[in-house]
Amino acid sequence: MITVRLPGTLRVGPSDTLIFDEPIANMDELVDALDRRIPGFREQLDDSVFNFAVNDELLLHRARERRLADGDRTQLAELGFTDVPDVDIYHLETPSPINVGGFKGMGEGGCINVMPAIANAVIDALKPIGEVQINTSPITAERVLAQVREARRHNGGGGHGNGSTR
């Protein structure tokens, strides 16, 4: 038997508690059972700030996989901004020993993946011609054309890696 305590916004009658006598192995099955008892429950759950607690333990990670046992007490908790604990923010400054000003790079992190993404796009676009390698930057037209010529020469002069000349 699994007992589920519902918040006021989801109550289906005068009681805030539902009892399930059917076998329920995990939280995912409990959500299915709740959806059968409360039409539209799954949609309300997906569009809300509800979290499950089992035996007073709040489930935050992989909640749907949590195993349930006979006698477990579950609660659907509606968390709001008042339920978030206070957060202390500290700044830790450690100057770089590498330069005179102690400055560190910032902002470059968002640019690191751009070059490999462009190189992969060029390689994918040239796959019909044959195998090309883009491993230097900047990617210039001259370098790309040199790779195309090399791929054609390697493939016997055909226009494409599969031997066609379209």
Indicate the pLDDT class of residue 51, thresholds 50, 70 and 90.
confident
pLDDT tens readout for residues 16-42 = 888 888 888 888 888 888 888 888 777
Tell me how far apart the alpha carbons of residues 128 and 29 are, in angstroms, rounded to a whole number.
49
pLDDT tens readout for residues 147-163 = 899 888 888 765 554 44
DSSP-derived 3-state class of residue 77: strand
pLDDT at 164: 43
Tokens 């309300």, residue? 44
Tell me how far apart the alpha carbons of residues 126 and 101 are, in angstroms, rounded to a whole number.
46
Residues of the chain with CATH 3.10.20.30: 2-81
CATH of range 2-81; options 3.30.420.40, 3.40.1280.10, 3.10.20.30, 3.10.105.10? 3.10.20.30
Burial class for 55, CB neighbours closer than 10 Å (0-12, 13-18, 19+): exposed
Tell me how far apart the alpha carbons of residues 82 and 66 are, in angstroms, rounded to a whole number.
26
Indicate the pLDDT class of residue 145, thresholds 50, 70 and 90.
very high
pLDDT tens readout for residues 70-123 = 888 888 776 666 666 677 888 778 888 888 888 887 666 666 778 888 999 999
pLDDT at 161: 46
pTM above 0.85, yes or no: no
